[in-house]
Structure formats: C-alpha cells, structure tokens
Chains A and B, each alone.
Chain A
Amino acid sequence: MTVPAIEIRQLKKRYRKVEALRGLDLTVEAGSVCGFLGPNGAGKTTTMKILMGLIRPTSGWAAVNGIDVRDRGLLARSRIGYLPQDPAFPSHQTVRGVVVTAGRLYPGHPHGSALRRRADELIDRVGMANKAKRRMAGLSGGERQRVGVAQALIGDPELVILDEPSAGLDPTGRRDMLDLIDEIRTEATVFYSTHILNDVERVSDTVAMISRGTIVAQGDIDEILTVSDTDYAVRLRGDTKALLARLVDEPWVESISTRRHGEIEDWVVRLSDDSLVERLAPALVDGDQHDIIELHLSDGRLEDAYLALVGADDGD
C-alpha cells in the first residue's frame, strides 16, 4: 500500500478566541494533484503552515510521506517544496540568486555550476529566463509568484505545496501557472490551495473542500461532481430573505446554500426526496419581491457542489 503524500488526523488550531482548524482530517494520495478549496479564512493557509512547521497545531497529527511533521520536521521539509501565499524573498538578491540560495538549503544538493544550471532550467520553466539577473525588488507580484514556484522545485521535492499560486495573477499568468501545475504532476504530488473553482476543475485529480476549519468533502473530482437527484440549482433576483426564511422551515427541505453576486443569488436546494420538486417550484413562485431566473436539477458543476457544501461561508 502506498504511503499517502499527506495524512492529517484531527488537526486543531486555536488562535486565542478563534478556532481556525476544528479537527481536520485529510488524506492526499501520492502522485495526485489535489486542489484545496475553500473560502477565505476557512483554514487553508493554517493547514499548509502546519505542514511546513511554520505554526504549531493545538492538537492533532500531520505527516508528509509518512513522516511526522512535528517530530521529524527537518526530514519532512527536506522532501517538500513550498510556495507561501505572499512569497517574500531577499530583495537584494537576483532571481537566480534566490533559486540557488534555496537549492543550497536542501541536503545532497548539486554544487557550483551544476546547481546554477538546475536553477536556470527551473527559471526558464517558469518563464523568467529573461529576468534571471534582475533583482527581486524590481519584480511584479506575478513574477515573484513564478520565482516562488522555481525555488519550490529546486530541491526536487516529492511533494509541492502551493498556497494560492494563482492569486493576483492576470489571466495569462493564471493560465501559465495552471499549465505549470499540470507539468509538475509528472514529478511530484501537488497540493495547492485556491478559492477559484475553475482552476480546480482544470488541473486537479482530487479535491478537498474546507469550510470553517473542517473538511466538508474530499475525493476524486468525479465523485464530488456526482449528480444528486435531490439537489436543485436555483437562480433568483431581488430580495430573497423572506423566501429563504420560509423555505428553510419546510420539512421537505434538507438544506439551502446561498451565494450572492450583486443582484443575482444562486441557491442549491437539497430536498429530502426527489419527488418533492413538485412542491419546490410553486414555493419559489410564491412572493413578489424576487424573480426566478432559473430552476434546474443541479448539473454536477463543481460550483454547485461547492455551494452545496460550503454555502455562504465565503469571506469568513
């Protein structure tokens, strides 16, 4: 049996009065690309920082390739490449200097020209070859992000952890970053966090959804997207508060997840039985403060699954 790339059991983290992680359980299989999906403040960065030994859990256990990250943190980190959310590198160093410096910190690293060659290969791979001699201080956020990926790969890690790798990138940068993640999958397990659903659908084999410090779903993308015949996607416009209050009290409604985008509100309504859609349609029509734009069986889009599982936790 293959040892999971990441195994987390009952991980808890409390910051004074805030409980950032509430008994998180997670398994990421070796060789997979796992998207770690959740709204801001859900606990994604906290989880990753614990794996990297940057913060200590209040309780629980986490291992990378079977190595306990608390007891044998150095050994665990020698097998991980990490891109932090807001990567900070010495501003006086050049792009190549940062990647070479990172390379020298790994055991058994190549020396001298071999290390510089390897660094140049990676810099080329992230599309920064023409800026290899530029100082970090003069780079844009997107360029720093690319350098961050190159320095994460320099130790030939078995696991690459990327915290919001496409955050702040323009559309071209985002596409390039996803292509890069797709390339890395041949060399290492990739565990990356994001709140961009399209990114996860595009490059991930598996997904773990986190909400308020716990995993609400994890597994293959296909499993997560399995269509439930009791989930209905509803798109509404206008004031929906009264309608929502009325529907959540109905015994045949199991749950309602909502998300508002300006005037439009998307719901995923889970019914206790698929035949009950006959009650849902008239109930939605009742009331004059809102319009129904769409009502259909949830079609298995990640967005619907996410909405159903994470709901209105966004921005927590």
Chain B
Amino acid sequence: MAIDVTTIRIGVGGFVGVLGAELRRWLGSRGLFHLVLWVAGINGFVYFVVVTSNMTFGPLGYENLLSALMLFPVFAGIILAEATIVGEYRSGIAAWLVSKPVSRGGYVVAKLGGLWIGLSVTAILVPGLVANWWLPKVEPYRFVTPDAPSLGRFLVALGVTMVVLGFFIATTGFLGVLIRRRGSVALLAMILWLVLRLAPPQIRPSWYRYLPTGLMKADLDVSSWIPGMEYVSGNSFDPTSAVWATAALALVFVGGAMLLYRRLEL
C-alpha cells in the first residue's frame, strides 16, 4: 500500500471523524445515561457496604470503591467492546464506515479508544471523585488514616483502574476481530479477568506480577486486595512495572486487532 502525505492526511481525517462521532455519543444521551448509572451504582454499592458493615479495621470504604471500579466498569467495557467490534461487523455498520475514507486500523482505534475514554470518565473518574468527596464524611468514619487520602494519590489509583479497563477493552477488541461471535468473545474476556484476578499466588509464576494481575490483585503478604489501595493509603507499593506492562499489552492487542481487521472481508 502506498503511503504518502495525502493518504496520511485522509487517514487522520477519517480517524478523527469516527473518534469524534464516538465521543459525541458520550457527550450526549449515552454519556448521561452512563454517568447517572455509574455514579448511582458505584456510590450506592460503596455506601451500602460502608454503612451496613460492622468492620472497624482497614480502609474499608476506599478498598470497596476500588474493587468495585476494577470489576463493574471493566465488565461493562468488555460487553460494550464486544457490541462495538462484533456488533458493527455483523450489522454492516463497520462496512459503511470503512467504505468512507477511513482506514480499517483507524476505525478499530477510534472505536476502542472512544469507548475507553467514555467509560473511563463516566464509570471510573466521576463516580470515583464523587465517592472521594463523601467517603471521608460518613459516620462511622472508617478510613484507617486520620486524614482523607491525597487527591493526587487517589487519582493515580483511578488511573491504574483505567489502564486495566483499557487492557480489557483492547483484549476484547482483539478477540472480537479474531472470533467475530457475540457472546463467546465477552465470555472469554471475562474468564481472562477471573484468571488474572483470582489466580492463587501459589500457582503464579514470578513474572505474573507484570501482567494486569499486578494491578488487580496484590500478593497475600500485603494488607490490601487492591495494589492501588496501598498507594492510596500512603504506602510505598510500586505498581509501576505492571502499569507499563499492562499498557504495553493493551497496545499489542490493539495492534493485533488492527492487523487482523485489515484482512477481514466486509
């Protein structure tokens, strides 16, 4: 394929067009629906756990908040990524879009990227910030440290959750292009989530910590389930290598999806 300045300009224009259409959806009724759903759902869940629990130890509220953000939005991301990639392939909407001056790679990145941005903001960032506002105020105050965590550390923990979300959206996108069958794609991605989240440390090889597991599940010798929680609590847990590895794996899956999509017959 010949690549020159004109082709790149057209390709970038098409990519921006598809991404813009995706983001406009998130700025409209779809975004509002998700915002209401996730702010109410995540905060309601955490409030229920915090207020009804009699446990007096540990940073229970934030622990549950981060656990919920690592579970529900990620599963939603898996389902929506499958609906986007497989659904649009099957319905013919993908064919409509790539019959325009839109590269197939640009289509895949714009669709998955738009979903990641939309879900990160509506299902992780905003619900997380709302919880961060009220959590330290509820009685009985259950946060283990005398002060609320620093906003910076809390935002980093949310960022780590977004990286995990991005990894699963990318993985589902890759599986969607590979298998192109609704149901089985989401099921496989969810099984992967369970394996990475629940694999017992006794059977995990040492390199396992560089996978998303390093961000989703701490080893048993640390006090919290969620590595990001250690960071929120002010401890010196360093998930840096797992963050980079997970982000790199997400990019690999997106790249794989782009390559496979180029060969698809639409």
Contact with A along B86-102 (1 / 0, CB 8 A): 00000111011111111
Q: Which of A74, A87, A88 lies at the interface centre, i.e. has the most chain B CB atoms within 10 A of its CB?
A: A74
Instruction: Indicate if the CB atoms of A105 and B95 lie closer than 8 Å.
Output: no
A residues less than 8 Å from B265 (CB atoms): 54-56
Q: Which of A56, A78, A84, A87 makes the CB contact (< 8 A) with B10?
A: A78
Instruction: Indicate if the CB atoms of A77 and B99 lie closer than 8 Å.
Output: yes
Instruction: Indicate if the CB atoms of A74 and B99 lie closer than 8 Å.
Output: no
Complex CA gap A73/B262 in Å reads: 12
Instruction: Indicate if the CB atoms of B93 and A89 lie closer than 8 Å.
Output: yes
B residues less than 8 Å from A77 (CB atoms): 99-101
Instruction: Indicate if the CB atoms of B99 and A101 lie closer than 8 Å.
Output: no
Instruction: Indicate if the CB atoms of A72 and B7 lie closer than 8 Å.
Output: yes
- Give the contacts of A68-110 with B (CB-CB under 8 A): 68, 70-75, 77-78, 82, 84, 86-90, 92, 101-102, 104-107
B54 at the interface (CB under 8 A from A): no
Q: How large is the interface on B (under 10, 10 to 19, 20 to 34, 35 or more residues)?
A: 20 to 34
A residues less than 8 Å from B30 (CB atoms): 92
Q: Which of B6, B20, B99 makes the CB contact (< 8 A) with A54?
A: B99
Q: How large is the interface on A (under 10, 10 to 19, 20 to 34, 35 or more residues)?
A: 20 to 34
B residues less than 8 Å from A89 (CB atoms): 93, 96
Nearest-neighbour CB distance to chain A for B38, whole angstroms, equals: 19
A52 at the interface (CB under 8 A from B): yes
B51 at the interface (CB under 8 A from A): no
A173 at the interface (CB under 8 A from B): no
Instruction: Indicate if the CB atoms of A74 and B93 lie closer than 8 Å.
Output: no
Instruction: Indicate if the CB atoms of A106 and B99 lie closer than 8 Å.
Output: no
Nearest-neighbour CB distance to chain B for A116, whole angstroms, equals: 13
Q: Can you offer 16 A-B residue contacts whose CB atoms are under 8 A?
A: A53-B98, A54-B98, A54-B99, A55-B266, A68-B2, A71-B2, A72-B1, A72-B2, A73-B1, A75-B10, A75-B101, A78-B101, A88-B92, A88-B93, A88-B96, A104-B21
Nearest-neighbour CB distance to chain B for A178, whole angstroms, equals: 23
Nearest-neighbour CB distance to chain A for B97, whole angstroms, equals: 7
Instruction: Indicate if the CB atoms of A105 and B2 lie closer than 8 Å.
Output: no
Question: Which of B's residues lie within 8 Å of A, judged by CB?
Answer: 1-2, 6-7, 9-11, 13-14, 17-18, 20-21, 25, 30, 91-93, 95-103, 263, 265-266
Instruction: Indicate if the CB atoms of B100 and A105 lie closer than 8 Å.
Output: yes
- The answer to whether residues A74 and B95 also contact, given A104-B20, A105-B101, A106-B101 and a CB cut-off of 8 A, is no
A residues less than 8 Å from B98 (CB atoms): 53-54
In the complex, which residue of chain A has the Cβ closest to the Cβ of B103?
A: A74
- Give the contacts of A40-62 with B (CB-CB under 8 A): 49, 52-56
Q: Which of A52, A75, A107 makes the CB contact (< 8 A) with B99?
A: A52
B residues less than 8 Å from A107 (CB atoms): 9-10, 13, 101
Nearest-neighbour CB distance to chain B for A261, whole angstroms, equals: 33
In the complex, which residue of chain A has the Cβ closest to the Cβ of B1?
A: A71
Identify 8 new A-B residue pairs, CB closer than 8 A, beyond the known A49-B266, A72-B7, A84-B92: A55-B265, A73-B1, A74-B101, A74-B103, A78-B10, A82-B99, A92-B25, A105-B13
Nearest-neighbour CB distance to chain B for A159, whole angstroms, equals: 13
- The answer to whether residues A84 and B99 also contact, given A71-B2, A104-B20, A107-B13 and a CB cut-off of 8 A, is yes
Instruction: Indicate if the CB atoms of A84 and B11 lie closer than 8 Å.
Output: no
Q: Which of A86, A105, A106 makes the CB contact (< 8 A) with B18?
A: A105
In the complex, which residue of chain B has the Cβ closest to the Cβ of A79?
A: B101
A residues less than 8 Å from B21 (CB atoms): 101, 104
B residues less than 8 Å from A104 (CB atoms): 17, 20-21
Complex CA gap A88/B90 in Å reads: 10
A residues less than 8 Å from B100 (CB atoms): 77, 102, 105-106, 155
A residues less than 8 Å from B266 (CB atoms): 49, 54-55
Instruction: Indicate if the CB atoms of B95 and A54 lie closer than 8 Å.
Output: yes
Closest 5 CB pairs of A and B: A88-B92, A78-B101, A105-B100, A105-B17, A104-B17
Q: Which of B13, B98, B99, B102 lies at the interface centre, i.e. has the most chain A CB atoms within 10 A of its CB?
A: B99
Nearest-neighbour CB distance to chain B for A148, whole angstroms, equals: 9
Nearest-neighbour CB distance to chain A for B103, whole angstroms, equals: 6
B residues less than 8 Å from A74 (CB atoms): 7, 10-11, 14, 101-103
Nearest-neighbour CB distance to chain A for B221, whole angstroms, equals: 49
In the complex, which residue of chain A has the Cβ closest to the Cβ of B6?
A: A75
Nearest-neighbour CB distance to chain A for B217, whole angstroms, equals: 37
Nearest-neighbour CB distance to chain A for B229, whole angstroms, equals: 38
In the complex, which residue of chain A has the Cβ closest to the Cβ of B16?
A: A104
Complex CA gap A102/B96 in Å reads: 9
In the complex, which residue of chain B has the Cβ closest to the Cβ of A100?
A: B21
Nearest-neighbour CB distance to chain A for B32, whole angstroms, equals: 13
Complex CA gap A74/B107 in Å reads: 13
